[in-house]
Chain A
Amino acid sequence: MDRRKFLGVGLAAFAAIVAPGTDLRAVDFRTTKPKAWEVEKTVDGIKALYGNAGLKTSDKLTFKAPKLAENGGSIPITIKSSLDLESIALFQDANPRCLSCVFSVPVGAIIEYDFRIKMRQTAVVTIVGKERGTGTLYTASKEIDVSIGGCGG
């Protein structure tokens, strides 16, 4: 093998080794906060994810959800906020584990996330947002009535 080729092969191999390691994620919540994904109650979940800091309610962090969800397998939720948040998490008490999802918000992003969750029974849904820099926690919660449970129930 000539030198030129050898270098090329070496580079390719190097790239192959490095590539899986280059992780885009800012914080991997699953490895840094494994406990948060296992607990059942929202209160414990918030503690496990964000610590014991006090929660504030703010009209700048809101979410839209139907009051009565006919199908618990698909409940549309829209989170909106004009605050500069670092991450947003959604908790509910209906399922065996309370944490549904955690968003890591990139700097300067428009916070308007729309997605669907599953809930097996009527319960309170809580969202918690952590402000960038100050670390202040903001929260909003709502009770959603579920007539037919999701999760195959």
Chain B
Amino acid sequence: MAKKKMKIKAKEKKGIVKVKAMFTSLMADREESVKKGIKPEYIKYIVATVNDAVVYEVTMSGFMSENPLVKFKFKGKKGDKIVFNTIDNNGNKATGKKKIK
């Protein structure tokens, strides 16, 4: 498996934190993987937590775009750490951390 990479940006403004996150994944579902001759590989679950509280949670199928980019907002404050956890269809897990600016 290729190196897992996760790019996270989190910025606070007036009590609201804007988060952009990009995950590295081929997002190849069954049909696409057959066409390309590769194994199916897609992230099926992403969760983001701040201080152990879930702020973002999504279950996905392989029909999201390659290298999924997600944006969302939540109420938070500077200095907290946002932690992303992902699981792909093969059970591989990845974690990423970022301090909210």
Contact = CB atoms under 8 A, between A and B. Distances in A.
Interface of A: 24-26, 28-30, 37, 73-75, 92, 95-97, 99-106, 108-110, 112-119, 150-153
Given A113-B58, A114-B72, 4 more contacts: A28-B45, A102-B58, A109-B74, A119-B63
A26 B45 CA distance: 12
Contact of A118 (B44, B59, B65): B65
A106 B53 contact: yes
Given A29-B59, A151-B29, A101 B74 contact: no
Contacts of B63: 92, 95, 97, 100, 117-119, 151
Contacts, number: 104
A116 B65 contact: yes
Interface of B: 16, 27, 29-32, 35-36, 44-45, 47, 49, 53-61, 63-66, 68-75, 85
Contact of A110 (B36, B54, B70, B74): B74
Nearest to A24: B47
A101 B73 contact: no
B45 A117 contact: no
Given A24-B85, A112-B72, A100 B58 contact: no
Contacts of A96: 29-31
27 contacts: A25-B57, A28-B45, A28-B59, A96-B31, A100-B64, A101-B61, A102-B58, A102-B59, A103-B56, A103-B57, A104-B54, A104-B59, A106-B54, A106-B56, A106-B57, A110-B16, A113-B71, A115-B58, A115-B64, A116-B65, A116-B68, A117-B63, A118-B27, A118-B65, A151-B31, A151-B63, A153-B35
